[in-house]
Structure 1
Amino acid sequence: MMDFSTYEELGLEDPIFKEMLFWRSTSSSEDCLFLNVYTSKLSSTSNLPVMVWVHGGAMVMGSADTYPAEIPTALNNVVMVTINYRVGNLGFLPTLEEDAPGNFGLLDVIKALQWVQANIRNFGGDPDRVTIFGESGGGWAVSLLVLSPMATGLFHRAISQSGVAGMPITQKGNIRRTEYLAGGLNCTTSSYDEMMSCLREKPGQDVAEVVADFTFFMRHGSPVVGDKFLPESPWDLMTKKQVNKVDYLLGSNSNEFGNQSPNMNIVLDEDGMTRAEFEDTLPTELLWYTDQFLGSDVNLIVQPVIDQYMDPDRPDDQIAIRDQYVQIGIDTWFRAPTVLMAQAAADHAVRVYQYEFKHRTSYFASRAPHIEADHGDDLFYLFGFPLMPGETGPDSWKYNFTEEERELSLDMMAYWVNFATNGDPNDSTGSARVRNTTNWPRYTLSSQEYLKLDVTSSAGVKIRETRMKFWNEEVPRLLGKKVRTSGSDEL
């Protein structure tokens, strides 16, 4: 678990961000493997569906304590569990030890799920109806558990919000990040045994605080493949349809990066982006995508990406360039892997539901006009922030959301809990209250329908189809991968 000493350095001065990200959490420690259970019925015969929340934070920060799960629990017939897992160096540092190749944070989640199986009935939960759900880094973790043979049978449904495992990976035995850490702690790297002996003598807090720059961490501090947890890369497992057969609800937000470039190395403001800035920074941004293919060369796809996204009729339009640059990040980090995972799950005839959260939240009226739904906006609705009561009377509200947004919050909770209960977000059987929500079409390989989630939701078909085929078929081929063409069983 990791926290930050100031909110301002993250650009999160607004009280609502402090409440979501830092509420109740005042310290961090490697001794963090605790969980919280929220329930309204302490009867072993209640058999309520169970939802296990895996917090976000890019797997380098975050806490189970910062999400008010008591709100959706109080309003719905569900037991919620929020869990901690080790993050950053303490959770993902690779070694050469056979029993410690990496992925410790993900193994922590498996241990928490084993605890849920053994104990949740005492809190009114049904161990045969467990849904794992998470956002951002938590969404990555959920998707990795769907891909991991070690997690088979520990959960029955999954929800990934703004994060699916199309991400950089580390091959088992690659200890570059460990050597980086050793250098930062004045440990030798000339001898592996001496390096590890030195690292083991360092205080845990010192190990946790030596963090490489964001790009380095995401490239070299990522999940380890080639071990029991992930026998192959997530991309290979998804394209081979080697996933746990569980119902899956997954999606992302329409403007995940807001004013920030994906790797946070350039601010995208109202003046837009020059062609030179675009071409100079693009290779670094694309490393997020190419580093899921070990040994791939990012330079092979730079020009094809430029050709795909740049508007030949507006080559110097800085606003258009900025907007397309952001779309590249959203497509590579979120949309393309989400579609790939949806296809892998749907191939097993399990129930799959895809969404795009599109609502521009009135509370964030000061945001630039081109930003619709930014990264994390869905969380305020899922955890009931528009419904938090104020202190000036029974009809007052803590935060200034509209009545439509309060209804959207109730709708999102209903969709999520219905899915956890029945495997169908439209099926309100067993609900505490029935809501008249827009029908959410099931995603299938043939229809590829999804829900445009908003105050007035509607169905869509084949989200950004051309771009998804570009990233999930054409680009992998350019990087030397054998790819199954849409609608074909041939590799």
Structure 2
Amino acid sequence: MTWQHRCAVVALLGMLSGDALCDQPRVETPSGTFLGGTHISKRQGRTVYTFTGIPFAKPPVDGLRFTYPLPYGEHKEIFNATREPPPCLHWDNLRGRGVVGKEDCLYLNVFTNRIPPPPDYYNTQPTIAFLHAGTWMAGSGGDGLFQPDYLLESDVCVITVNHRLGPFGFLSTEDPEAPGNYGLMDQIMALEWIHENGRYFGCMNDSVTVMGSGAGGISANLLMLSPKTRGAAYHPDDHALLHKAISHSGTAYSPHAISKDAKVQALKLSKVVGCPTATSKELMSCLKMTSPDKIVEAIPSLYLWDDEPLPFAPVVDKWQGPDAVIPDEPHHLIKHREFLQVPWLVGTNKDDGAFRVQDILKDSVLTEQLNTHWDKYGPILLDLDETSCKDPVEVSKTIRKYYLGKKKFGYESSKSFVEMMTDRFFLYPTDHATKDYARYLKSYQTYRYELVYSGRKSFLDLLHQENPHETVASMLGSAVSNPRFQNSRDSHGWGVSFLDELLFLFPSSKLDFVYKQDFKADSASQVSTHMLMLWSNFVKGSDPTPVLNGWPEDISPWGAWWEPFVNGYLYYLRIDPEMESSDVPLKEETMQFWEGLPLFENRDQNVIRDEL
């Protein structure tokens, strides 16, 4: 007898009329019994079952700080999964909030539109494991900015995940005392929880798509490369923790994907908080005893200029041998086909770099420093140092000249500045990664896109709304706009920026509108409707525009054909109301410019070509 039937019987007997336990959705799993909540979806008015704040690992506090996560184990009592989980402890420079979150933060949230009946738990839906953005330093799986209603209305299950951030997630002394990659291992632990428990909530455990933007997109790609997902093989097997991946504006080739000076940053942090640094053991013993807030408050002192460079990120831990999380540089793993071969949907937004540029240009001091001391600050801004290239200053000069010529940094040159930052941190790493992945992929397909259409709102609008300093500026009428973009249709004036793709896929509680589910509605709603159809098709069947029985092969039932990105045929989908697959490589001449630079990620180009 199901819990619904039991509640009905109890109500008929007049024993527990109105009892809260019977009013709430209830799921019984091997890990315990969970009570959830419900809400009505934004457009279709469907019932959504929500189970929030479920711990998937033991709290990483005290002796478990700076260690790999441990399974939470079984809940002996009924767990009320209706509380909003706290974000992981971090310094929030993004929204100007200072110290935010808690160390006890390893929770996930399950959103589903059906709870299957026992004992067979049939009719479950494909699962999206969503990993948040935040450059490894900030963010949360449940911060209220995005809700998964659109995707749930497309009949997929969505599970959002917290993982440790900053030093708590990625500090490494590059030895057994602090191996690093704790945040990645948190993600893997969450995938293991999904594998064991997902189907009881209506979420398929044998069709899991890892999806994210920025650091979440990088994470999705790194998880494809990690043997910890049981993926160091040509084909997925019954034990693989993921089966498809979606990377928005971030891949394992991104400059921020891998730390190349992890031990240096660990030593710097230790000195700031007053810990001894003679040995890794002394260092880590002290950090484990240090107040967590004191550690977080030390983060701003690690930056050399503004919020650069990124002090903590995943590390290559080859020295761990078979226990390595990332056993080699990503381009080496792909070159040697040591990755999980799964379908991959990957792409960028046309103006991803605007996210960073607008932050710099609104600060006259930062802008002036770039104009007068480029040799000092340019390499830092572009993430160039001796580990990235032989001569960081000369390379940074070459990049600036290519994009800005002799122009100064400012609003008059902002489009060129945005293009430079977009290409450095988003477009070229994505182009490089997808070409290598397609070249060495033996099974399945890669699908690439570029979002060029600006919707009714941008993530920058949400960011400014969330930041108390930006809110005050807006109220006083002094919020910064960009005159170079004033004739464009986007309200914020910065083009199609970082995370803007998510607003077509997720409604936001911070905005007072939802996109219509209609191909005949306004252009923005058309783009949203099309993207949701393509993304959900990929999640369900690995192909965003599959051929349907009864349809001619030259006519798409989806309004467009998204041709796969394969070696020799570098198609990508241009996302706008027209939705056309382009067979002309994206910014080919500019990508050749980046390929010619003496960057770390380019050092094996000739070796790779010679082996083809």
TM-score above 0.5, yes or no = yes
Please report how far the alpha carbon of residue 363 of structure 1 lies from its aligned counterpart in structure 2 after TM superposition. Answer: 3.4
Match of 1:94 in 2: 172
Change (3 A) 1:239 1:330: farther
Structure 1 unaligned runs (5+)? 11-25
User: Paired residue for 1:339?
Assistant: 431
Q: Secondary structure at the match of 2:142?
A: helix
Q: Which moved more, 1:163-172 or 1:140-149?
A: 163-172
Partner of 2:396: 302
State the alpha-carbon separation in 2 of the partners of residues 464 and 480 from structure 1.
18
Partner of 1:156: 243
Please, which of 505, 508, 511 is the counterpart of residue 382 of structure 1?
Answer: 505
Query: Counterpart of 2:250 in 1: which secondary structure?
Result: coil
Aligned counterparts, 1:390-409, within 5 A: 403-409=522-528
| Counterpart in the other structure of 1:126 | 204
Look up the match of 1:232: 328
Tell me which residue corresponds to 1:144. 222
> Partners in 1 of 2:408 and 2:394 — Cα distance?
24
Counterparts in 2 of 1:367 and 1:450: CA distance versus 1, 3 Å: farther
Please state if 1:208 is matched with 2:315: no
Does the 8 Å CA contact 2:89/2:102 hold for their aligned counterparts? yes
2:380 corresponding residue in structure 1: 284
Contact 1:245-1:345 at 8 Å conserved across structures: no
- Closer, same or farther in 2 for the Cα pair 1:419/1:194, shift >3 Å? same
Instruction: Write the deviation string for residues 212-268 of structure 1: whole angstroms up to 9, x where unpaired.
Output: 455677444121113311111223334555432011011111111327439x55548
Aligned residues: 455
Partner of 2:110: 37
2:346 is paired with a residue whose SS is strand
What is the deviation of 1:28?
1.2
Distance in 1 (alpha carbons) for counterparts of 2:244 and 2:131? 14
Cα distance in 2, alignment partners of residues 7 and 217 from structure 1: 13
Say whether the 8 Å CA contact 1:133–1:160 is kept in structure 2. Answer: yes
Task: Name which one, 1 or 2, has greater alpha-carbon Rg.
Answer: 2
Shifted more, 250-259 versus 331-340: the winner is 250-259
RMSD across aligned positions (CA): 3.7
How many angstroms does 1:164 deviate by? 1.3
SS in 2 for 1:426: coil
Could you tell me how far apart the structure 2 residues matched to 1:266 and 1:328 are?
14
AA matched with 2:221: S
2:542 maps to 1:423: yes
Evaluate the alpha carbon distance shift between residue 317 and residue 243 of structure 1 in structure 2; reply closer, same or farther with a 3 A threshold: same
Name the residue aligned to 2:139: 62
2:353 corresponds to 1:257: yes
Range with greater deviation from structure 2 (177-186 or 402-411): 402-411
Give 1:16's aligned residue. Answer: none
Deviation per CA, 1:18-46: give whole Å up to 9, x if none: xxxxxxxx961111111111111211211
Query: Aligned equivalents of 1:131 and 1:59: distance in 2?
Result: 20
Q: Secondary structure in 2 aligned to 1:112?
A: helix
- Unpaired runs of 5+ residues, structure 2, are 1-87, 232-239, 319-323, 462-479, 486-492, 550-555
Query: In the aligned structure 1, how far is the partner of 2:389 from the partner of 2:602?
Result: 10
Partner of 2:454: 360
**Pairing partner for 1:438 from 560, 564, 569:** 560
Q: TM-score, normalised by structure 1?
A: 0.81
Moved more, 210-219 or 250-259: 210-219
Native 8 Å contact 1:164 1:341 kept in 2: yes
User: What is the aligned counterpart of 1:351 among 445, 452, 476?
Assistant: 445
Which residue matches 1:196? 284
CA distance in 2 between counterparts of 1:98 and 1:470 reads 40
Structure 1 residues 30 and 387, CA, compared in 2 at 3 Å: closer, same or farther? closer
Q: Give the counterpart letter for 2:532 in structure 1.
A: M
CA distance in structure 2 between the partners assigned to 1:203 and 1:86 by the alignment? 16
Query: Which secondary structure state, in structure 2, belongs to the residue aligned with residue 9 of structure 1?
Result: coil
TM-score normalised by length of structure 2? 0.66
